[in-house]
Amino acid sequence: MKVDGETRSARKEREIIHAATVAFVSQGYDGTSMEEIATKAAVSKQTVYKHFVDKETLFGEVIRASAAQATEAFDAVAALLTEAEFMTGGLQKVARRFMSMLMDDERLKLRRLIIANADRMPQLGRDWYEKGFERMLASMATCFQQLTDRQLLRTPDAYLAASHFFGMLLWIPMNEAMFTGNTKPRSQAELERHADATVETFLIAYGEPAKPST
């Protein structure tokens, strides 16, 4: 049976993944039980096991779902970086939104969980990287190549340029959040100033070369 285009089974699975995300983020992987996830999802434990064979499988789905959501959100933002948007500060908007998205408290906590369990569940960390960050890099590289083709940027290696862009954006705030527990997160204004400074520096390195005077 479908409800609003979604089958009942698919909706139930989505609700379980959401409940599991809340549980894992608040209590960690080891501190979360399938029974607790079932309670949060308002289903029986048998229903949870019907959809997910064990806790590790469910944790993997949580990671993949989060990575997919982040990538879809970023792609929607990056798609706005047309020539016209770029000329009116579009790269600044992309940088600011990307910072806000990745510095989201729930996503930061999930990232810490993935790192903490990387040795015993290495494939989950690879899934997060490949389906999330690596795809965002590819998307940004495509945007930079298109802008280079229009002579609005000069990126001989668009993928490397995207790596530099994300590296400048994330190196300090992300590491700060990972190693300090984000107990005193940066304000939105601070994140925006950091994003703006990143864009300014990036354009000094990769901006359109000055046209020779006539």
Residue pLDDT, tens place only, 50-83: 999 999 999 999 998 888 888 888 887 777 777 7
Mean pLDDT of 134-150: 91
Indicate whether 152 pLDDT > 60: yes
* CB-side neighbour CA atoms (13 Å) of 159: 4
Alpha-carbon span 199 to 195, nearest angstrom: 6
Per-residue confidence (pLDDT) for residue 30, from 0 to 100:
92
Q: How confident is the model at residue 3 (pLDDT cuts 50, 70, 90)?
A: very low
Per-residue confidence (pLDDT) for residue 214, from 0 to 100:
46
Mean pLDDT of 102-124: 88
Indicate whether 2 pLDDT > 60: no
Per-residue confidence (pLDDT) for residue 212, from 0 to 100:
46
> What pTM was computed for the model?
0.81
Per-residue confidence (pLDDT) for residue 99, from 0 to 100:
87
Per-residue confidence (pLDDT) for residue 104, from 0 to 100:
85
Per-residue confidence (pLDDT) for residue 184, from 0 to 100:
63
Mean pLDDT of 124-151: 90
Q: How confident is the model at residue 213 (pLDDT cuts 50, 70, 90)?
A: very low
**Region for residue 182 given its phi and psi (left: phi exceeds 0; alpha: psi -120 to 50; beta: otherwise):** left
Q: Mean pLDDT score of the chain, rounded to an integer?
A: 87
